[in-house]
Structure 1
Amino acid sequence: MSLNSHPRRHGVTGTPPAPGSLALVRKADGLFKLIGLCLLAGVLVAGMLFPVVGAAGVMSNQASETVEKTSSDLADIPPPLVTTVTDSTGKPIATLYDQYRLPITPDQINEAMKWALVSVEDKRFYEHHGVDWQGTLRAAVSNSTGADTQGASTLTQQYTKNYLINVVYRNDPIGQKKAQEQSIARKLKEARIAIQLETKLTKQQILAGYLNIVEFSRQIYGIGAAAHAYFNTTPEKLTVPQAALLAGLVNNPINNDPWKHPDKATARRNLVLDRMVENKKLAKADADRFKGEPLGVVPDFPAKPAANCIGAGAEAGFFCQYVEDYLLKAGGMTKDQLYTGGYTIKSTLDERANHEAKVSAETQVNKTQKYVANTLSLIRPGKDRHEVVALAANRDYGQDQDAGQTTYALPTGVYNTGGAGSTYKIFTSAAALEKGVAGIYSPVQVPDTYVSHVFSGGGDNCPSTGPPLRSRWYCVGNAGDYSRIAQGATLQTALATSPNTAFVELEDRLGSTAPAIDMAKRLGMRDTMASNAGGGTVDPKAEKDEKRLSQAEFYGPKGNWPGFGAFTLGFSPLSGLELGNVAATILSGGVWCPPTPIAGVTDRNGQPVPIKEAPCEQAVPEGLANTLAVGMSKDDQPGGTSAGAASAVKWDRPIIGKTGTTQGNVSATFVGGTPQLAGAAMTFKFGGGQGGICDGNAPGSVRVCPSGNIFGGKAPARTWFGAMKNIMEGQPRVELPQPDPRYMGGGAR
């Protein structure tokens, strides 16, 4: 419960009872009221003596401990502040907050604001020592005799109460209720804390403290945020009528909201102006003139930033979301810490690269195209860090679905449930190099069809009936005519042209899918392989294995399909960012690092905050990674699956690359990289729709259709090359590393 949700902070005036309804009880309770007044008077006298004689006689030792604890809370629990996320240059891109608060110092508050607040809330503020005993006694008598209830709280007491409600107990409704209950015990505790504060802080510090804490509605807290949100100004520049409006709001900001209730807001502002005249801080003629002015608030609604990654906008929103997700999962932060800590988070976002990625993704697939998502993730390779520089999608980041917006983390989450297709052949190839089964120049078999022997029980021909996928056998054919390379094909050739049969046969030579699954995790598909076969979170209590087991387990020894040959054809859900990080790992000499969006974090005091990130690992030997890179270097060359997309932009740099397409053409991918920048593009069905994805080989032609025709060399490759051509413009040409002889001919020795 918020203090400001009450009609009046100084007590609610009840509805008058019907005539005579209390006549019988008034005489009976008169004696109790008289006794209560006597007791209260004694307590108040003791309270007035407290500054002189101390706490003895006012409260018990237990009460003293409670007050000390509360005082400690006020000192030790900092108020929630706004966390700012920036790009790699330090330019702010978003704010994250629970309470919009811009802290100010005493010298940043002008006299108009100070006297407006003091005049309406505590006109003897500069005279008392934390408690206005005269006002308290008057209020006690008034309340106890059935007259208008009054709180008589000083600004110092209100500071205490607001701090408890808005800071200490902001997530604790019971604590908030206790902090504002109408009881003598609570009032006495509040009074004692106020007196203590007056011995430790100056009046100006107390006034600034109060104005930093108090609520102005709509998640706006403190005068710094209020001045900006209501008038697009600062506390130093507030005019007298502006200050009067804000001072009047603290009594009941919801009821006096100037956008919803302008008449009430005007009346309250004018009351404050009258109180300033009574307090001899404003001439009556000036007050009368100010009363005739409009409220002057910004139009429509407060000028405050979005409280989450929506504020990062259509392009940077996905990156901001990854920053948040990364810090919550890998960085060891809680959401409450992130949204209240007042951190400055410098991200690794390269806004130019991100813009080029967004333009390219949206060029290939319209943002409003139903049921089709197109994403591009870019990561900078390195042996000590893998910094994410761009996360883009054809969809805008936002909440208006009709306008092509979404808040799903499409580039980073495990949302492509259609799969990566043949890009997973990278993992089978890497495992073959490591196990010594083949080298990049070793010959491979490319039959038209192939039956997996690992669990088929023998037989060289595909069955003429029955489904193509079963738990005990797997039959595969090629998507196209590969007769031109059937004789003399090497693993390097197969990676560039992507015949399915060659890689299922290679998988059989490894003995099972286990080495390829292990390689997928090591090279970068970690969250992907930890998710279940539907792309969701593993549920150990689920009855079905596809929900109970991780992908690594489901397609491995524990699952129903151990050694299932289709793993190398990438039919399982994945994260596009992790697929891009696989290329970064290969181009980093086999060193895997977490794809980080964080360049640095500082706290509200400007001090560095250590972030817990997974350490980098040598996932595979450097020679193996370098040789695999050479093996993947022909995809953009004539005959390679992405040659058309590369030629269209006149690509002329060395790259690694691999395309992928899933059965039914429901998704397609391209993963690749230069030594300076790596990444992955994915085009996949998202949110429904029947059939596959059709690609008319032209920008904006991608759509859902009954029978798909998309391939990794189409929209995904065009997205990757279209962005990378512009991003890499002006950067030096860097050659790929030299292969290691141990992995060139027959694999590792």
Structure 2
Amino acid sequence: MLCSVDTSVIGACVRRGGVLLKLFGLCVLSGVLVASLMLPAAIGAGAMVNETTSAMSRMSDSLEEARMPLTTDVLDRNGDPIAHFYDDYRIPTSSDEIADTMRSAITAIEDKRFWDHNGVDWQGTMRALATNISSGSVQEGASTITQQYVKNYLVHVAADNKVERHDAQATTIARKLREARLAVELERTMSKDEILTSYLNVVPFGNQTFGVGAAAQTYFGISSDQLNIQQAALLAAIVNAPGALNPNSNPDAARERRNEVIDRMAQPNNNFRITKEDAERAKQQPLGVLHPLGRPPSSCVSAGGSATNGFFCSYLRDYLNEAGFSDKELENGGYTIHTTMDPEATKSAKKAAEAQVPKDSDNIANPMAIVEPGQNSHKVRALVANRDYGNDASKGQTAYNITTEVIPYGSGSVFKIFTAAAAIQQGWSPNDTIPVPSAYTTHQFGHGQQWTVHNAEGVSSGSRSLRDALATSPNTGFVWLLERVGLNNAVDMAEKLGLRHSLSRKVDADGDPETDKKVTKAKDIKQSRQGSFTLGVTPVSVLELSNVMATIASDGKWCPPTPVESITDRDGNPVQVNEKSCSQVVSPRTAHGLAQGLSDDHKAGGTSHAAAESAGWTRPLMAKTGTTQYYQSAVLVGATPQMAGAVMTYTDGPPYEGICVNGSAAPYQCSDTGGNLYGGTIPARTFYPAMNTVHEGLPVKQLPEF
């Protein structure tokens, strides 16, 4: 009886003992044959559909829909790609985008009766069985393209973990039976062209490349509709054994298999037959594979232009992770992410950063962040450094995001902004006068002990307006002012304006690792009464400093510094990003007063005047410089109504000494107690040329009146 199952074949295999390994493939194929013989009658009686479990039905539907993992494309503000995220490189390809040469090649070598069978090739199965019986081992397989599609989909798409992937390709009768059942079902619901197209979109071609669209790009740098005979034949050859037939590592084997495919393409029974003359010409052609391969890189470290774009790419990925997008989702979801990155701003900032501190400078970093202010969003336009983004430290590269992460140095007198902001919020005016003695002693901070502060070299004593004090940066005047506005208020102001991550970090406040009583940096500063807060000893993030200035330029409206313009899914539908909402953190009056108070730094007498004048800066600007005590770091922050930026020059490697600046020569570490690095030198000389370029074409806007 046709439907009866003779288990003696399988039983014999099991009883063979020592011969089992040799004839294991025979056992499998025997089981497949027995199962396949059941299919026609079962389908004819409707039993197949009735017996298929709900899981199998869902899998069949999934195979028809073929929702495969897709590459996520990351674009700059102009729509040009800057990075790609993927586990497997894929380019979705429709039927009309696949050349007939590819159809000819893949069916000729993998399934020459593809256009005739119903999902299982009975003739091929029996031939393979006979061959394997005569040889005593597995010499031939009998899977059709439809069955291969099922297997590859289950392995490379449906499987969520290693166990599922192993089960989907295990050499068992159960697995072969499942493939056969699904293959026959697919042939009833999908056209041959749909099955072939789906197969060519899921099958692996080696080198982390899946599907013919991606393979054509990876190996030849073309689209799949442009594949000629020898190119299509090579891709069809690789499918047989992507590792062993890698044309880069094993070109001789790849060429031999390619030529075999070409010969098959010229055989009479090929639906897309080529002529023998064309076949002979194609076999004489070189492999023609790209070196390096045309597959785009899949990480921020190796992204195209990663030296310039990598820091932004890294921030984007971290930002999206925090917003709820897992790495797996980004690498398989097929999103299109339109970012806020301005390529021209990025190039100009990168050029300026390297001009002041060459990338191969010994252990000195010079990162810059540029943020566009706004009432509804603060868009990150550039994140760069003199360092390239990468893993080769010998080439001046780093994969630590020095543009966004907290740097282990302070920004010096830049923190006087927060003391001034607290004063203005309490009713002070930028024109109100503060005393500036040459030295000032206080008992209010620390534990009530005496603390005497002096001004930096070159800062004269004498009372002056708050505006003038911000431009000339006397230490004594701001410690005096901090006493009056309150340390807690100044710390709160720093958090409000933008130092969210810098001040919310957990620190070991009591200095005893055993107790491990950790509090935020902000709380630690308040509890320990650190009056030096106004002198900028707290580690900060360059991006957050830039966003502080963006908040002031936005009339006191804080927004998270976002790298995202919009996201669409694989079907073009908009995707919501779970971002923090904007908030009015200080009144417009306070923001406007602070903008006016910071408006003289680039003018004569201001700490960055020389750099601004040298760069030809002419626009209204609010700015502030800062330098830490031992000259290991210096900063300039600044903003116009249209754009905000921050630059931080600091020691990023041993011996971690102060930095000396010597004219136009590269800066260098020079002393553990001294140096001559100031915010008005390297940071300012980086900031003004970069921001000049960024503002090209923008109208000149005045700072808000107070």
Tell me, yes or no, whether TM beats 0.5: yes
Could you tell me which residue of structure 2 aligns to residue 453 of structure 1? 443
> When the two structures are aligned, how many residues end up with a matched partner?
685
Could you tell me which residue of structure 2 aligns to residue 342 of structure 1? 334
Q: Are residue 612 (structure 1) and residue 578 (structure 2) matched?
A: yes
Q: Are residue 86 (structure 1) and residue 75 (structure 2) matched?
A: yes
1-structure distance, mates of 2:666, 2:109 = 65
Please list every run of 5 or more consecutive structure 1 residues that lacks an aligned counterpart in the other structure: 1-21, 459-471, 740-749
2-structure distance, mates of 1:657, 1:175 = 58
Rate the CA distance shift 1:143–1:454 in 2: closer, same or farther, 3 A. Answer: farther
Given residue 432 of structure 1, which amino acid in structure 2 is its aligned partner? Answer: A
What is the deviation of 1:456? 5.5
What is the deviation of 1:76? 6.4
Q: Are residue 324 (structure 1) and residue 290 (structure 2) matched?
A: no
What is the SS of the residue equivalent to 1:236? helix
Could you tell me which residue of structure 1 aligns to residue 525 of structure 2? 555
Could you tell me which residue of structure 2 aligns to residue 479 of structure 1? 456
Tell me whether 22-31 or 268-277 shows the greater mean CA deviation: 22-31
Aligned positions of 1:35-46 closer than 5 A: 42-46=34-38
8 Å CA contact 1:453, 1:508 repeated in 2: no
What is the deviation of 1:312? 3.6
2-structure distance, mates of 1:197, 1:110 = 23
What is the SS of the residue equivalent to 1:636? coil
CA deviation string 1:368-412 (max 9, x = no partner): 102111122111111111112222211222333333222222222
What is the deviation of 1:514? 1.8
Q: Are residue 624 (structure 1) and residue 594 (structure 2) matched?
A: no
Could you tell me which residue of structure 1 aligns to residue 41 of structure 2? 49
What is the SS of the residue equivalent to 2:635? strand
Given residue 603 of structure 1, which amino acid in structure 2 is its aligned partner? Answer: D
8 Å CA contact 2:69, 2:332 repeated in 1: yes
Given residue 279 of structure 2, which amino acid in structure 1 is its aligned partner? Answer: A
What is the SS of the residue equivalent to 2:179? helix
Equivalent residue for 2:484, pick from 485, 493, 509: 509
2-structure distance, mates of 1:36, 1:218 = 30
Q: Are residue 166 (structure 1) and residue 131 (structure 2) matched?
A: no
1-structure distance, mates of 2:507, 2:612 = 33
Given residue 660 of structure 1, which amino acid in structure 2 is its aligned partner? Answer: G
What is the deviation of 1:533? 5.2
Please list every run of 5 or more consecutive structure 2 residues that lacks an aligned counterpart in the other structure: 1-13
2-structure distance, mates of 1:292, 1:362 = 50
Tell me whether 603-612 or 244-253 shows the greater mean CA deviation: 603-612
2-structure distance, mates of 1:147, 1:514 = 81
Could you tell me which residue of structure 1 aligns to residue 299 of structure 2? 308
Q: Are residue 594 (structure 1) and residue 560 (structure 2) matched?
A: yes
Given residue 705 of structure 1, which amino acid in structure 2 is its aligned partner? Answer: C
8 Å CA contact 1:344, 1:601 repeated in 2: yes
Could you tell me which residue of structure 2 aligns to residue 264 of structure 1? 253
CA deviation string 1:24-53 (max 9, x = no partner): 957999999999999776533322323212
1-structure distance, mates of 2:16, 2:398 = 65
Q: Are residue 569 (structure 1) and residue 535 (structure 2) matched?
A: yes
Could you tell me which residue of structure 2 aligns to residue 489 of structure 1? 464
What is the SS of the residue equivalent to 2:433? coil
What is the deviation of 1:543? 4.5
What is the deviation of 1:422? 0.9
Rate the CA distance shift 1:457–1:229 in 2: closer, same or farther, 3 A. Answer: closer
8 Å CA contact 1:67, 1:192 repeated in 2: no
8 Å CA contact 2:145, 2:196 repeated in 1: yes
Equivalent residue for 1:214, pick from 191, 195, 203: 203
2-structure distance, mates of 1:726, 1:124 = 64
Equivalent residue for 2:376, pick from 384, 401, 404: 384
1-structure distance, mates of 2:27, 2:119 = 27
CA deviation string 1:177-203 (max 9, x = no partner): 100111111111111111221122111
Given residue 495 of structure 1, which amino acid in structure 2 is its aligned partner? Answer: L
What is the deviation of 1:433? 2.3
Given residue 315 of structure 1, which amino acid in structure 2 is its aligned partner? Answer: T
CA deviation string 1:128-185 (max 9, x = no partner): 111123333454566678432543111011111111111122x511111100111111
Could you tell me which residue of structure 2 aligns to residue 736 of structure 1? 703
Could you tell me which residue of structure 2 aligns to residue 524 of structure 1? 498
CA deviation string 1:651-704 (max 9, x = no partner): 222111111111111100011111111111110111333311111243x43121
Q: Are residue 426 (structure 1) and residue 423 (structure 2) matched?
A: no
What is the SS of the residue equivalent to 2:496? helix
What is the SS of the residue equivalent to 1:439? coil
Equivalent residue for 1:65, pick from 54, 78, 81: 54
2-structure distance, mates of 1:621, 1:34 = 81
* CA RMSD in angstroms, aligned pairs only: 3.0
Query: TM-score w.r.t. structure 2 length?
Result: 0.90
What is the SS of the residue equivalent to 1:608? coil
1-structure distance, mates of 2:21, 2:669 = 78
8 Å CA contact 2:69, 2:88 repeated in 1: yes
What is the SS of the residue equivalent to 2:545? helix
CA deviation string 1:414-470 (max 9, x = no partner): 2x211111101111111222234x432222232333333224666xxxxxxxxxxxx
Could you tell me which residue of structure 2 aligns to residue 353 of structure 1? 345
Rate the CA distance shift 1:262–1:33 in 2: closer, same or farther, 3 A. Answer: closer
8 Å CA contact 2:30, 2:129 repeated in 1: no
Given residue 666 of structure 2, which amino acid in structure 1 is its aligned partner? Answer: S
Query: TM-score w.r.t. structure 1 length?
Result: 0.85
Tell me whether 514-523 or 316-325 shows the greater mean CA deviation: 316-325
2-structure distance, mates of 1:375, 1:31 = 65
What is the deviation of 1:548? 3.4
Given residue 95 of structure 1, which amino acid in structure 2 is its aligned partner? Answer: H
Could you tell me which residue of structure 2 aligns to residue 723 of structure 1? 690
What is the deviation of 1:86? 1.7
8 Å CA contact 2:25, 2:137 repeated in 1: no
Given residue 610 of structure 1, which amino acid in structure 2 is its aligned partner? Answer: Q
1-structure distance, mates of 2:253, 2:24 = 39
What is the SS of the residue equivalent to 1:90? coil
8 Å CA contact 2:601, 2:624 repeated in 1: yes
1-structure distance, mates of 2:353, 2:23 = 81
Rate the CA distance shift 1:453–1:71 in 2: closer, same or farther, 3 A. Answer: farther
What is the deviation of 1:274? 2.7
Rate the CA distance shift 1:449–1:140 in 2: closer, same or farther, 3 A. Answer: farther
Given residue 320 of structure 2, which amino acid in structure 1 is its aligned partner? Answer: L
CA deviation string 1:597-621 (max 9, x = no partner): 2221122222222212111100101
Could you tell me which residue of structure 1 aligns to residue 626 of structure 2? 660
Rate the CA distance shift 1:481–1:238 in 2: closer, same or farther, 3 A. Answer: closer
8 Å CA contact 1:33, 1:144 repeated in 2: no
